[in-house]
Amino acid sequence: MEELGPTEYVIFERINANWLRGFEGVGGKLFLTNERLIFIPHGLNIQTDWLQLEIWGMTKIEKRMTWGLIPNGITITMEDGLVFKFVVWNRSKIIREIIRAKRMDNEMM
């Protein structure tokens, strides 16, 4: 992971996840700081771009069902309307931590 900003700190790191990007489920790791959610893909994926979502730009964080059956998905909608979908285990804890970081970010403003 790249360097943290001067006021940034890690909340959780190396959470196994898949970023549903088009037809590919890009495997990798999620990192959450108090300022952003970062997805770093494994090197074996076709798509290897990192993803960084600023906490302040998230407007909706929701649970979703993978394939309409499996309760292991998260959908994040950004201020600009872009939607990002992830498959994770323990999604309730992850969502709770993202929402907590977002609240803290809002209180700092």
Tens-place pLDDT, residues 27-50: 899 999 999 999 999 877 666 778
Contacts of 96 (CB under 8 A, 6+ apart): none
Tens-place pLDDT, residues 57-109: 999 999 999 888 999 999 999 999 999 999 999 999 999 999 999 887 666 55
**Percent of residues, the chain, with pLDDT higher than 70:** 91
User: One-letter amino acid identity for 48?
Assistant: T
Residue 53's Cβ-count burial label (10 Å; 0-12, 13-18, 19+) is middle
The pLDDT assigned to 3 comes to 83
- Judged by DSSP in three states, 66 sits in strand
The domains located in the chain, with CATH, are 10-108 (2.30.29.30)
- Tokens for 25? 């489920």
